Structure 1
Amino acid sequence: MRAALALTLAASVLFTSVPAVATASSADLSAPGYVQVGYFTQWGIYKRDFQVKNVHTSGMADKLTHINYAFANVGADGKCFEANAAGVGDAWADYQKRYKAGDSVDGVADAYNTPLAGNFNQLRKLKALHPGLKVQMSIGGWSWSKYLSDAALTPASRQAMVASCVDMFLKGNLPLIGSSVQGGPGSAYGVFDGFDVDWEWPASEGNPGNTIRPADKANFVALLAEFRAQLDAYGAQIGRTFSLTAFLPADPAKIDAGIDPAVFGYLDFGTVQGYDLHGAYESTSNHQSQLYSPAADPAPQRYSADQAIQHYRAQGAPAAKLVLGIPYYGRGWAGVSTANNGLYQTSTGPARGTYENGIEDYKKIIIKSGPTYYDPVAGAVWKLSGTSFWSYDDTRSIAQKTAYVKANGLGGTMAWSLDGDTASADLTSAIHTGLS
């Protein structure tokens, strides 16, 4: 899941009016169509049994503009790599797993000696059926940002990192690993249309053990500049263009520490984390993804998705390049009382989740027993299932968030992650409808 920010947002069903949204400039509002981004997780093919085929059969693919594939790892040498090692890499899922006809996007089984199999081949097939869809390789994430500060440190290290990523994922030169025949020169050519840089976080603490430097803020700009230069140079060679995006924090302290607005000069757009604002790592139930933070919020810091967006805008970020992140999962607290319908109540710890305690997919939350509550002031939804409090997004809060995107001239939305949606793509469809 995403990095847990020490942010604060909240809701009270006692409020009846929605806070006014900032007025976007006419230049921002004249931006072309909205992007609708969804992350496909490498590991979702296992316990969740969410395959690339499901993106097609659910109807998601027709409603998305971009899929970000999570994640590529960067090693201690500062270069993109593939491996089959727990917690380090899963080349088998990426491009070695051969799919049977019934599990394949196009109904055709992978031959034993095909140069490309796995998720990468399925994504290539998905793009063939949906020609307008772009697929980006997302680099880093919460677990694999450890060496990004080192990779971004010098001109030489930046050049080497970007060149390795371009070679592996755009030119498609995948390594042959173990006894597998999958991989080889050009084997993954045509799968990816660009990169999403998911550094969590420049100059701020992320996963324990990550390298962090004050210079990360300037080096992040330089790294994106190197990406842009190499993408443009390679694109000119083969007669096409490649996209570049980044996942950006919502915590104003992390924004100030690590995100220079100059990054937007190199990005097609930046996706702003609109979730993990609260979680069961805190003792009091709260909203993990609310749009606004009302006065009733008892947390020592009170942040919101709106506050993050307005913070970027105040620093000079163009509204049309800001994309609002929306979760397809909820965060849960156990042992809460029924006072205030469970909101802002002391808990005994994380609620039990199917795959991880304190976290649950949207499709799992909606079948839990108990009443649901929606507060349009906070732009937040929750369910009280017995003594478990679940904070998540549904079609009501999504309608409010997509209206916010349009009213503020933002670039669109991003969802983490597609495997949390229903088989009929209820959340993806709600976003698509809201942005139409």
Structure 2
Amino acid sequence: MQLDRLPKKKVVIGYVGGFRGLVDVRRISAEKLTHINYAFVDVKNNRAFLHHEATDTVNFQQLNLLKLKNPDLKILISIGGWAWSENFSDAALSDTSRKAFAESAVKIIEKFKLDGVDIDWEYPGIAGEEGNVFRPEDKQNFTLMLKELRLELDSLEKKQQSKKLLTIAVGGFTNFIHHTEMDKVQQYLDFVNLMTYDFYNSDFAGHHTNLYNSKSHPAENYADKTFREFAAAGVPADKLVMGIAFYSRAFTLKESAKNGLGDSVLKSSYGKGYTFLKDSLINQKGFKKYYDKDAKASYLYNAASREYMTYDDERSVKAKCEYVLKNNMGGVMFWEYDSDLNGYLLNQINKSLK
């Protein structure tokens, strides 16, 4: 057996939101994480750009102090995200722009003594948020941009004699694969974080972060399908990281609603975090908890108010972690730390991956 193929410790990657302002690092259980992805850094004039440099600077200093608790902890900047992906296509467009972008991203991690870069482009070649720029050329340019980043990180690695990571977050759906070259892209990457959440649709109440398809109300996307498709596209299983949602998706259903799951949707919204659900809503205030055994997914339904919520809980997280172990995946990641400050799901992850 080659030494580098020994079973690696599973990663536990937590996205921490610096976009809100100062992060209260006292609430972060550093010893239960392997990586923190700091969200987000913007893209402006083909460069990685800190909009809130004053608070970002403090956040980076504070996050680095967590290494006193966990010396193996790695801290990465995550660039882009849903709201800040509109300029990626321009930044990736030419040799010059890609080099400028890669240099600027690596300068940030060098300046603040961080460990790597996570690219969260939503999405190459397809529309993300309204107004985002996207082009057919994004398919190849995405690969070239990551190659350029890897080269810059390699230079910093040599200079500092310490490993620098490059990871990406990817849409957990087939169309993402069609608009990227995952077999080529993966060679530059340490991990591919599968966003196996936000799977809901606007027509009927389904699951947003289910491991398998629901038999009673099948839908297009589910985590098992995402994993298998990315593996088939050429990404090694041990680089693929399962996404867990620390937040819910909430829906108000039409008057005809009977059971919650499968009923017609009137309107939807980003839901509350799991700590709030567990402490204040589950089997309280008219909200009854259900579990779809086929999908390995939990949901809440309030028949009186016709409110439906889909989310990950300890049971669904345990199932996802067992899947990670069984399929030799790299580990798990979650969005996002603030949604479960009481640590219910992170504790379950640590228990299940031991």
**TM-score band, normalised by shorter chain:** over 0.9
Separation in structure 2 between the aligned mates of residue 165 and residue 236 of structure 1, nearest angstrom: 17
Q: Which residue in 1 is equivalent to 2:129?
A: 207
Aligned residue type for 1:155: D
Find out whether 1:413 has 2:332 as its counterpart. Answer: yes
Separation in structure 1 between the aligned mates of residue 164 and residue 258 of structure 2, nearest angstrom: 49
Find out whether 1:72 has 2:72 as its counterpart. Answer: no
Alpha carbons of 1:29 and 1:329: their partners in 2 closer, same or farther (altered >3 Å)?
farther
Any conservation in 1 of the 2:215–2:295 contact (CA below 8 Å)? Answer: no
Q: CA offsets, 1:24-83, max 9 Å, x none? A: xxx99954111000000013457xxx612210xxxx2111100000000110x201122x
Cα RMSD after superposing both structures: 2.0
The correspondence for 2:277, drawn from 362, 365, 382, is 365
Q: Which residue in 2 is equivalent to 1:32?
A: 8
Q: Which residue in 1 is equivalent to 2:293?
A: 376
Any conservation in 1 of the 2:146–2:185 contact (CA below 8 Å)? Answer: yes
Aligned residue type for 1:241: K
Separation in structure 1 between the aligned mates of residue 208 and residue 120 of structure 2, nearest angstrom: 20
Higher helix share: 2
Higher strand share: 2
Separation in structure 2 between the aligned mates of residue 391 and residue 45 of structure 1, nearest angstrom: 28
Q: Which residue in 1 is equivalent to 2:24?
A: 51
Find out whether 1:125 has 2:65 as its counterpart. Answer: yes
Q: CA offsets, 1:312-337, max 9 Å, x none? A: 11122100000011000000111356
Q: Which residue in 2 is equivalent to 1:269?
A: 191
Q: Which residue in 2 is equivalent to 1:91?
A: 53
Name stretches of at least 5 consecutive residues in structure 2 with no aligned partner.
none
Q: What is the TM-score of this pair, normalised by structure 2?
A: 0.92
Alpha carbons of 1:132 and 1:337: their partners in 2 closer, same or farther (altered >3 Å)?
farther
Any conservation in 2 of the 1:31–1:320 contact (CA below 8 Å)? Answer: no
Alpha carbons of 1:239 and 1:421: their partners in 2 closer, same or farther (altered >3 Å)?
same
How far off its partner does 1:298 sit?
5.4
Alpha carbons of 1:382 and 1:131: their partners in 2 closer, same or farther (altered >3 Å)?
same
The structure that has the greater radius of gyration is: 1
Q: Which residue in 2 is equivalent to 1:197?
A: 119
Alpha carbons of 1:409 and 1:390: their partners in 2 closer, same or farther (altered >3 Å)?
same
Separation in structure 1 between the aligned mates of residue 195 and residue 185 of structure 2, nearest angstrom: 16
Secondary structure in 2 matching 1:142: coil
Any conservation in 2 of the 1:380–1:397 contact (CA below 8 Å)? Answer: yes
Find out whether 1:343 has 2:312 as its counterpart. Answer: no
Q: What is the TM-score of this pair, normalised by structure 1?
A: 0.75
Runs of 4+ aligned residues of structure 1 deviating over 4 Å after TM superposition are 27-30, 336-340
Find out whether 1:250 has 2:172 as its counterpart. Answer: yes
Name stretches of at least 5 consecutive residues in structure 1 with no aligned partner.
1-26, 83-88, 96-117, 173-187, 351-356
Q: Which has the higher contact order (CA 8 A, sep 6+)?
A: 1
How far off its partner does 1:215 sit?
1.4
Aligned residue type for 1:378: A
Secondary structure in 2 matching 1:291: coil
The correspondence for 1:163, drawn from 93, 103, 109, is 103
The correspondence for 2:213, drawn from 293, 302, 305, is 293
Aligned residue type for 2:26: K
